[in-house]
Chain A
């Protein structure tokens, strides 16, 4: 058999590699120069491009801002701060804030688009409720945004309750919400509810379906102990299948670990 070295292909590879080694120092020095001059210009003038980008991202998100209000407001605030930094002459900080504002505005828009239908329904319900006169003040501080309202009979609203990680007992912060729901159940004795248990995305489908069911059951037992008739409460677990927050931060997970109260006919 013939020799395996010295084939054209190997020679080409070797040539390219050597050429790259020779030119390496030049490329790297050039890179440093470019970076130096960029940071130099960055110090000299306001980051107009970044500010413009942030502005247009906010504009694009504005039509959907009701469905991602927190992020939108935060983005708006960041951009205002960026402008303030420009006035103060701190262009670096202005650039950072402008970029962050743009990112957040984009996130707000994407989030709003992903949750559009749900959100529109909630807004419509909220508007309908706003036209009705009585609203119970103590329910205002109850946590959660996905509680659904019973527009016919309700004097308050049913609110979602939340759970710690891998736990089927409600989080302490949700005790208030539970009390609000108990009041609602007492004030609307003819209404039945479905307790829908959910988990966060971490973990696996079957186990989380079982966990969601345990959460719903915990709520049912809790309410039953407080005198609400068991028969008025159905149980359904969705496990990790219906997330309200798609992110992977702990705040997203915490929003997903929940039991929703859904009135049924």
Chain B
């Protein structure tokens, strides 16, 4: 062992290197030493960038404990369903993983023949699954009759050695219906383990930036069913959802940033006031909007969701006011204002009264989104190192940090149940992509994994 230790010291390598280089007759340079020395600490932070940003560190809390799940390959029952079976197992594995509550056991750790094992309790050797560390076991199979498919999806408790009944029933579906069935099952599994339904099947909208073109798209949270909403091949941005699947967005189609709405399959202009018309926020029949109306500056207004006519002006200030977001009871509105210098999150009543500043740290806090649970508002802020990160603030102004040291993170938006947040991040250096995290920031996963230029994601709720 002493010899081993010797061999592992940097000196030993230096000696070897020295001998080799000496033989060739040249002094070895300092770079040789540097190759084998450990890096001493991280690079020094930039000196004295202006200390105006938020200074909060990510909470170092206990890590969430994940439930171990085994998802063996989907069984092909009958009718030649290789492709469908692969699709089912892929959706199961990816989306269960994405949910942030499970650790999926690697299939190569299953040391026994899983293909030979059937769907039923009597077929399953639970001690094998226990030995690979599974707490839950998901068994799946597909059968085909012509163009119709029937899925069998079951959750088993490994320790208990029995099936766990979840709130899901098999239906006969077309090939296109398979994803919906699997996602409904995953949602039911999530309900069993967490007490609340999962997010799968819900939609998000986002914009995608190209070269002097930016389009609006919608897709399901797992990346399926991507659909382009905007038609004008120019700048389209800041999509939000209205009731019944409507999508609001701003477009420069007519040479001014006007508000459009996609409803009943077509795009119509809803507000074309001179200057800015953006960030439509819908709540129970009311539509808040950022507008400048030909004046020097933007303010928050209420407009008629059908006709687009102006109903009420909510803010009246010489500074910038943008980005309204409703509280879940539609009584208050969070927004961004530049009135106290920099940009900060404010709240006000739905009629514009009682305007209060909510954030006092940092100097650039924007894009607030009020949690459907009502207790917190998530926003992106610039920190003391000039990095943009995602924070939440409660209604007393207490701030929590959700992202740190992972590139820049922007435009957070809550899931319908308030348990997740989508946001954009430029981490990884491939441009901005959409990410999903749990509301405490502990689990963060990419939703889009190719290309860049993803911006302004919004979750339908």
Contacts and interface: CB of A to CB of B under 8 A. Distances in A.
Interface string A194-235: 000000001111110111011001000000000000000001
B342 A36 contact: no
A127 interface: no
Interface stretch (A78-86, A150-158, A236-244): A236-244
A66 to B, nearest CB: 19
B24 A207 contact: no
Interface string B327-344: 000000000101000110
B127 A25 contact: no
A204 B127 contact: no
A204 B411 contact: yes
B366 A29 contact: no
A35 interface: yes
Contacts of A211: 320
B275 interface: yes
Given A43-B26, A210-B322, A2 B342 contact: no
Contact of B13 (A1, A32, A206, A209): A32
A213 B296 CA distance: 7
Interface in A72-112: none
Contact of B298 (A39, A202, A203, A213): A213
B16 A237 contact: no
Interface string B252-269: 100111000000000000
A206 B320 CA distance: 10
Q: Is the interface of A mostly helix, strand, loop or mixed?
A: helix
Most buried by B among A1, A8, A204, A237: A204
A63 interface: no
Contacts of B17: 29, 32-33, 36
Contacts of A209: 257, 276, 278, 322
B131 interface: yes
A4 interface: yes
B140 interface: no
Interface string B427-461: 00000000000000000000000000001100000
A261 B193 CA distance: 60
A207 B300 CA distance: 12
A32 B9 CA distance: 13
Most buried by B among A31, A206, A214: A206
Q: Is the interface of B mostly helix, strand, loop or mixed?
A: mixed
Interface in B28-63: 28-29, 31-32, 35-36
A194 to B, nearest CB: 9
B307 interface: no
Given A4-B133, A7-B131, A25 B296 contact: no
A205 B275 contact: no
B200 interface: no
Contacts of B237: 205, 241
Interface in B49-100: none
A24 interface: yes
B441 to A, nearest CB: 19
A23 to B, nearest CB: 11
Interface in B182-210: 209
Contacts of B108: 9
B20 A36 contact: yes
B349 to A, nearest CB: 21
A235 B366 CA distance: 24
B410 A204 contact: yes
B297 A29 contact: no
A37 B320 contact: no
B198 to A, nearest CB: 29
Contacts of A24: 8
A69 B141 CA distance: 62
B12 A29 contact: yes
Contact of B20 (A28, A37, A206, A242): A37
Contacts of B364: 166, 203
Contacts of B181: none
A2 B127 contact: yes
A226 to B, nearest CB: 18
A114 interface: yes
A238 B32 CA distance: 52
Given A204-B366, A213-B292, A242 B212 contact: yes
Nearest to B298: A210
Contact of A32 (B24, B29, B35, B278): B35
Contacts of A206: 238, 276, 278-279, 290, 322-323, 336, 366-367
A16 interface: no
A46 to B, nearest CB: 17
A40 B17 CA distance: 12
Contacts of B292: 210, 213
Nearest to B158: A1
B398 interface: no
A55 B224 CA distance: 46
B388 interface: yes
A1 B278 contact: no
B111 A7 contact: yes
B235 A241 contact: yes
A217 B292 CA distance: 12
A172 to B, nearest CB: 19
Interface in A236-254: 236-238, 241-242
Contacts of B411: 204-205
A36 B276 contact: no
B176 interface: no
Most buried by B among A3, A8, A237: A237
Contacts of A1: 127, 130-131
Given A29-B16, A206-B336, A241-B209, 16 more contacts: A1-B127, A1-B131, A4-B130, A7-B111, A25-B12, A32-B13, A32-B36, A36-B28, A40-B26, A43-B29, A166-B364, A204-B323, A205-B456, A210-B297, A217-B296, A238-B235
17 contacts: A1-B127, A4-B133, A9-B109, A24-B8, A25-B12, A32-B36, A35-B31, A35-B35, A37-B20, A37-B21, A166-B342, A205-B278, A205-B411, A213-B276, A213-B292, A236-B256, A241-B209
Interface of A: 1-4, 7-9, 24-25, 28-29, 31-33, 35-37, 39-40, 43, 114, 166, 202-207, 209-211, 213-214, 217, 235-238, 241-242
6 nearest A-B pairs in the assembled complex, by CB-CB distance:
A25-B7, A32-B17, A210-B298, A210-B320, A204-B366, A206-B322
